[in-house]
A and B are shown apart, each in its own frame.
Chain A
Amino acid sequence: MSATGPPRRARLELLVRGKDGGDGFEVRQIGSGVAFIQSRPQRVPAGSFELAEVASRVDGQHSFILKNTTTDRFLLLSEPEKFLWEQMDGRTSLQHIATAYVLRYGEFDFDIIPQLIRKLQRAQLLTMTPTSRLRQALARHRRQPVAKLAESALFALERINVSSRNVQSVFRTMYRLGGFVLFTPAAAVACLVLAVIGLAAGVRLWPDADRVVSGFGKSPLLAVLSVKLLFLLTVGAHQLVHGLALVHYGRRVREFGFTFLHGFVPTFYVDVTDIFMGSRRARVITAVSGALVHLVLGSLWFLVALQASFGSFLQAFAAASGMIQWQAFVVALYPFCFIEMDGYHVFVDVLGIPTLKHDAIAYAGAVIRGRAPRRFTRQEALFASYIVVSTMSVAAFVAFNVWLIIHAS
């Protein structure tokens, strides 16, 4: 029988000479564990990082977003982790930091410091290209030719990425040449007026919906697809406005481009992560401003549909475009759909739980496997509500669109 214990910690043998420079010396064995607790971690200098606070309204906890301004990487820190971060001044050893932690919180979690150090070393909180579950499933069934073919096709599409990281100056110029108008009170009022007029137009068209869509003639499905294609271009406008909002709040647009999300969803995207370091107002306005593009365009399309002659192709096309734009507006701002869109970001920002979807899905998984915690706190209630409402919302959205297509056909 062999004894199995934890792996032996590495030791280093050092020879230290006397201060007098003579022949005397002393040999010391330094274990890596001792070296670790005596090390003095030093955070990057002030000016190389920014720290922003996020307050949770559910459990009253505060979390913090730490940004490395040199690498543009973000990290989510809990309040105790932020305390530890502040101790890492290059003069205080981990042993003393741990002591300070105990004095402050009255307890010590032996994993928190190594975990925080690992987080700080990685500093990769945000992943721009998450691995989709579809891709994971395909990878698992790679032996089957169809799955392999699909995976190869998605991989090829996923590699299509037309983007630039040098877009800040372009967005600044666009902002200076008129983009700033979008962030004035006059623009907000105009948007509101257009929304009301568009809604009125939509309401007037709705009773005659059958006659309106008859303008598509004998190939309604093809017409709906062309409407969707045109809509794709407006997603670009949506992202442009997000970028302009960043400039408005003095933050940096890190990237703008076009790609196939998960390998099959064509989309434009803009990297707005720098807004995390702005105020909550800035984050909310940046998120909402992009979605408002769809509200405005939808209203305009409804007005066009109202003015066009009844039963014409133009009227059908405009009405369908108005409908899809308004759907996009609702979907973008609706937080309960398992997709982290603008409304979701506003919602989690207000709640102060940036990882709501991830945590809720993990909680649902734990419930299914019978490993959920017995205590049902406000947080668990929130997770459960998010899962239930999101599932129902997605089902309703799919059903509505199926009904629309069947009705149009």
Chain B
Amino acid sequence: MGSAADTLAFLRSVRLFRNIESRELGILADSLRERELKRGQILLREGDTGDEMFLVRSGSLVISKAVTGRVEQVLARVGPGDFFGEMALFDRSPRSATIQADNDTTLLVLDRAALSKLTEISPRAAAAFFESLVLIFIERLRASGDLVAEVTRWGLEATGLDVDPR
């Protein structure tokens, strides 16, 4: 595991924490746990329960959703500085996708208790965190719209379906 200084330096590079002061970031860093994954290892499966979000410190992961049998659709790839699993922090719903390591990976785990602690100690830091989160949510929403369009185009091209009203 990296030193506290390394972790703090890493958190400063994460967009989600960009507007949080060093002192508050230090408090948050103390609450984070580190988790190692081997290449190919599944972190969590679609339908699992949990209340943690993950920050990718090193390595990369593939986020996928079951399609049929052994086949899943790749929704996204995440790398250093990215985060995922944040929905479970808020809605307690089952995980919406499966996440597996594409190669050896190190994650930082932020759970609901750590977030509550940050909110309690520094509402201003929590507000900055949530604002960044909302902005990133909006980006992801737009990206998922693009993905739907790409998948639809793929379907039209792959089936030769003619929808041109001539």
The interface of chain A, by Cβ under 8 A from chain B, is 9-19, 23-25, 27, 32-33, 35-36, 39, 113-114, 117-118, 121-122
Contact = CB atoms under 8 A, between A and B. Distances in A.
B43 to A, nearest CB: 10
A14 B160 contact: no
Given A15-B73, A27-B62, A10 B150 contact: yes
- Nearest 6 A-B pairs (CB), nearest first? A32-B157, A35-B158, A13-B74, A10-B154, A118-B162, A10-B153
A118 to B, nearest CB: 4
Nearest to B101: A23
**Interface size of B as a range:** 20 to 34
Given A12-B151, A23-B42, A32-B154, A39 B159 contact: yes
A32 B162 contact: no
- Majority SS of interface residues in chain A? mixed
Contact of A121 (B62, B100, B161): B161
Contacts of B151: 10, 12
Interface string B58-74: 00001010010011111
Interface of B: 40-42, 62, 64, 67, 70-74, 100, 102, 150-151, 153-162
A25 B101 CA distance: 10
A32 B161 CA distance: 12
A121 B162 contact: yes
A36 B160 contact: yes
Contacts of B73: 12-15
Contacts of B156: 32
Contacts of B158: 32, 35-36, 39
A223 B27 CA distance: 105
A11 B100 CA distance: 21
Contacts of A36: 157-160
B74 A15 contact: yes
Contacts of A15: 62, 64, 71-74, 100
Contact of B72 (A17, A23, A39): A17
